[in-house]
Each structure stands twice: as C-alpha cells, then as structure tokens.
C-alpha cells in the first residue's frame, strides 16, 4: 500500500467478488481494521480459524498472516493504514500480547455511530484534496470508540476499578521490556509491588487471561515474527526468548499453535514466496 490510509465499504457487489475468487492466506505491511455491521465471516489467522458475527470490530496488526472468507450477507467497512499514521493506537499496543483482537460492538444506536463515522471518514477520503490530518483525528476517534466498547462489553472489566486498569497497563509495559527474559509471575508482581494473586486478578479482570498466559502469548507472537523475518535457528530464537532448551520451546509453541516452529516457518515462507 503506497498511501498512508485507505478505506472502502464491504458492499454486496464487493463481497460477491471476494467470494468468487480463490486466494490463500497473506501478509500485509499495514494495519487493518474491519468493522462488520452485518453478516459474518470466517477469519483464518496464523493457521487458526475463528468465526466472527456482526456487529464486531476486528483488528489485524501488520505482519499477521490471515485470510477472510465472508458469507453472502457480510457488510461493513475495511480501513487500512500505515503504523505511523496513528502510532500510539491502543489496538496496536494490545496486539503485541494477544493473537487476535476482536471487539464485540453493541447493536442499535452504537453500531449506527460506527457506520456514520466510517461514512464521514470515507467522505473525507474521497475529497479531491485529501486532508490526512482530519482523517487521522477521525480514525483516532474511531479507535477510541472501539476501546470504549471493549470496556463496556467486558463484564469482568466492568467491575475493575480504574486503578486496576492502570496496573494492568503498567504490567504490559514492564512485560514489553522483559518478555525475552526467563522470568515468571513473581518477577512482574515484585516489579509492581503486589502479590502474584492480586496481579492475576487484575489480568483476569481486564483481559480474562492469567499472567502466565499473557507472558507466553507475548513470547509466542515474538517467536512468530522471528521465524518469519530472521534467519535464526529455532534453538537461537528459543534462547533469545528465555527458553533454555529447544525441546521446551518447541513444546510450548506446538501447544499454542498446534504446529512446530520449523513447520510454521516452512509454511509461512512458502506463502510469501
């Protein structure tokens, strides 16, 4: 994608055209945000399938291998943008810790607000002289609305205090600096001056995952990036991520991905070539 931003509507004609084509999983060097307002689709991401039902927002970060299979009734909007277009996006930040980012949206007036905002963004995009500053602000607003919906539609987070949200985000920041080390839950709890139990409660309240699950997911996402974009051996990648034994790294990777690191590299490289 040469432009910093692109938006298009998932109309009946476009959906039928997509369904008529045969294409494989692919990578792209931009961020993708899909607002599904009607219908459903099957989303294959990193060799795993998930089904998405409207209304929902689906965020696919740069470098994720994926494939979309829409049903006849799928409608909505697709927004592609370069990472630098809104570099401080919460969606981009959270994508480092979770394989997929799907946020259910509320029906009725809520989804209508998303439709209206996408139409406004599309109108700005189709002006003869595109003002990317205006589009950037509108897109940032759309991302903020999605994050607000994530909070509203998560029963666990509804009971979480504001201090827990701050603690959780601080945990993610510390994890981003230390995920490559062989550190467990106690390390992060000590960094935050709290017990392991309370840190697990905070993580469960915010994303319904334990501390250990989030740590392993962060390592897994980085492992996939390294398998794809570097020539390091599986043993070297495991060592770089704090796994002292290749066999243990392979077991953890296979348990999460249902495929070995070597096979993952082989399949993804074949897709690129």
Q: What is the pLDDT of residues 124-133, one digit of tens each?
A: 999 999 999 9
Average pLDDT, the chain: 88
Between 165 and 271, residue with greater pLDDT = 165
3-state secondary structure the chain: CCCCEEEEEECHHHHHHHHHCCCCCECCCCEEEEEEEECEEEEEECCEEEEEECCEEEEECCCCCEEEEECCCCEEEEEEECHHHCCCCHHHHHCCCCCCEEEECCCCHHHHHHHHHHHHHHHHHCCCCCCHHHHHHHHHHHHHHHHHHHHHCCHHHHCCCHHHHHHHHHHHHHHHHHCCCCCCHHHHHHHCCCCHHHHHHHHHHHHCCCHHHHHHHHHHHHHHHHHHHCCCCHHHHHHHCCCCCHHHHHHHHHHHHCCCHHHHHHHHHHHHC
Percentage of the chain beyond pLDDT 70 is 94
Domains in the chain (CATH in brackets) are 5-153 (2.60.120.280), 162-272 (1.10.10.60)
pTM for the full predicted model: 0.78
Residue 266 has pLDDT above 50, yes or no: yes
Question: pLDDT (tens digit, 9 = 90+) per residue, 181-220?
Answer: 999 999 999 999 999 999 999 998 877 789 999 999 999 9
Question: pLDDT (tens digit, 9 = 90+) per residue, 47-80?
Answer: 778 899 999 999 988 877 788 889 999 999 999 9
């Amino acid at each position: 994608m040469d432009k910093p931003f692109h938006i298009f509507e998932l109309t009946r004609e476009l959906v039928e055209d997509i369904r008529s084509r045969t294409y494989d999983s692919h990578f792209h060097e931009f961020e993708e945000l899909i607002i599904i307002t009607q219908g459903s689709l099957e989303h294959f991401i990193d060799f795993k399938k998930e089904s998405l039902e409207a209304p929902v927002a689906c965020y696919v970060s740069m470098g994720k291998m994926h494939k979309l299979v829409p049903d006849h009734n799928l409608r909505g909007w697709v927004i592609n943008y370069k990472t630098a277009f809104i570099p401080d996006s919460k969606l981009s930040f959270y994508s480092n810790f979770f394989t997929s980012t799907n946020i259910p949206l509320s029906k009725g007036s809520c989804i209508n607000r998303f439709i209206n905002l996408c139409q406004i963004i599309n109108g700005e995009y189709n002006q003869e002289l595109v003002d990317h500053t205006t589009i950037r602000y509108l897109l940032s607003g759309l991302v903020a609305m999605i994050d607000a919906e994530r909070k509203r539609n998560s029963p666990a987070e509804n009971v979480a205090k504001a201090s827990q949200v701050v603690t959780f985000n601080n945990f993610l920041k510390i994890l981003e600096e230390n995920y490559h080390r062989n550190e467990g839950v106690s390390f992060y709890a000590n960094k935050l001056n709290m017990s392991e139990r309370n840190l697990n409660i905070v993580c469960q309240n915010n994303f319904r995952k334990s501390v250990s699950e989030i740590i392993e997911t962060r390592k897994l996402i980085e492992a996939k990036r390294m398998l794809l974009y570097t020539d390091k051996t599986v043993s070297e990648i495991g060592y770089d991520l704090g796994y002292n034994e290749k066999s243990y790294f392979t077991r953890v990777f296979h348990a999460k991905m249902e495929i070995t690191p070597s096979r993952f590299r082989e399949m993804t490289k074949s897709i690129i070539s």
